[in-house]
Amino acid sequence: MGFIEEVKKELTENIIPFWRGLRDNEYGGYYGYLSYGLELDKKAEKGCILNNRIVWFFSNAYMLLKDPVLLEEAKHGYEFLRDCCLDHENGGVYWSMSCDGKPQDTTKHTYNQAFCIYALSSYYEASGDKEALDAAYALYHVIEDKCRDRDGYREAYSREFVQVSNEKLSENGVMADRTMNTLLHVFEAYTELYRVDHNEEVGDRLRWIMDLFAEKIYNPALHRQEVFFDYDYNTLIDLYSYGHDIETSWLIDRGTEVLGDPVYVAKMSTITKDLAQNVKAVAFDGHSLANECDKGVVNTWRIWWVQAETVVGFLNAYQKQPERGDFLEAAKAEWAFIRDHQIDRRSGSEWFYEVTAEGEPDAAKPIVEAWKCPYHNGRMCIEVIRRGIE
């Protein structure tokens, strides 16, 4: 069985059936927690990021496979977003809902607004439902009018859009005023919105964000992105986030392709090539990718999303540089690691959250939680199939 055939089998026979099985037909959306022991908690909170990403996933799986069952799943998720997750009084999308669809954590985080735009844009393309596109633009204006200042995007707000501290996107012992991660996923969301509607105001914002990446986020001396910042873009920690660097390398390339502006293709391609090359040289052991390096200490856990983004990032790097067959071989080697170690072959499961470099799973981490969803691994499968490289 070839590379693409194996990946398509994983998508259609494992990932899609698993997430269809988490559908909540009583209260809407998808269940929010499955333990390592495969115990489903139907009373767990439903993260809006989780449900946004599921809508995006089923929309794109439908557009790839043309199975109407997948569009029906996307519609089910969309209706939960529309009816429960969106704040129709104050604008924006909540952080999480209770199991029965009532607001639980009413934080309005810029990162989460972006993922809802991402989901709504794809659902609009899949369904043709203009209500979803209108909702995406309403969130676009929330971000632009309430979450942006002259230098970038701020992070976290209360229900009424009063700024609050950024615990949700801060890690590694720092409290960040700005993050690379939020900026990246605003860019990703705006790329999708521009792709489905070609609004030039959104296109200009994509250019502005790429300028921020080039001038504030990317560190050419260290061949990485900085991750956590104060308001003036002073970096707060010596951190290589290998997964974000490889993810950024292909998401920025995707954005320049969608925008079609040769000035930004030229400006950003040097950066994206450097990020991919450094990740491969420093963090890839020939089989899988380390998580991060914090102040010189490497975290060697193999996280599910980092492994998935590595496949796409290396495949993208090969497509941009066809003479670099080593990137293609690295993508295939990473897939082999995922196939043999990251995928949980127990009945009723999906992928392990994290495994050691030798492939031993961490039994303390659940199979599903607020961040653990089909966005990264499902997207990896979709990208491999669409790119068509054996």
Q: What is the distance between the alpha carbons of residues 131 and 323, in angstroms, rounded to a whole number?
A: 45
27 secondary structure, DSSP code:
T
| Res 339: pLDDT | 98
Max Cα separation, the chain? 54
Which residues have a Cβ under 8 Å from the Cβ of 85 and sit 6 or more positions away?
A: 48, 51, 52, 93, 94, 97, 116
Q: Which portions of the chain are predicted below pLDDT 70? A: none
Amino acid at 203: G
Which pTM was predicted? 0.98
Q: Is the dihedral of CA 265, 202, 136, 131 positive or negative?
A: negative
Q: Are 228 and 174 in contact (CB under 8 A)?
A: yes
| Res 201: pLDDT | 98
| Res 20: pLDDT | 98
| CATH architecture assignment, domain 3-387 | Alpha/alpha barrel (1.50)
Q: What is the distance between the alpha carbons of residues 250 and 269, in angstroms, rounded to a whole number?
A: 10
34 secondary structure, DSSP code:
B
Encode pLDDT of 181-217 as tens digits.
999 999 999 999 999 999 999 999 999 999 999 999 9
Q: How far is CA 305 from the centre of its chain?
A: 8
| Res 168: pLDDT | 97
Q: What is the distance between the alpha carbons of residues 352 and 343, in angstroms, rounded to a whole number?
A: 6
Domain ranges of the chain: 3-387
Q: What is the distance between the alpha carbons of residues 132 and 129, in angstroms, rounded to a whole number?
A: 6
Encode pLDDT of 247-305 as tens digits.
999 999 999 999 999 999 999 999 999 999 999 999 999 999 999 999 999 999 999 99
| Res 212: pLDDT | 98
| Res 301: pLDDT | 98
Q: What is the distance between the alpha carbons of residues 242 and 330, in angstroms, rounded to a whole number?
A: 15
| Res 265: pLDDT | 98
Backbone angles phi, psi at 164, to 5 degrees: -130, 175
| Res 217: pLDDT | 98
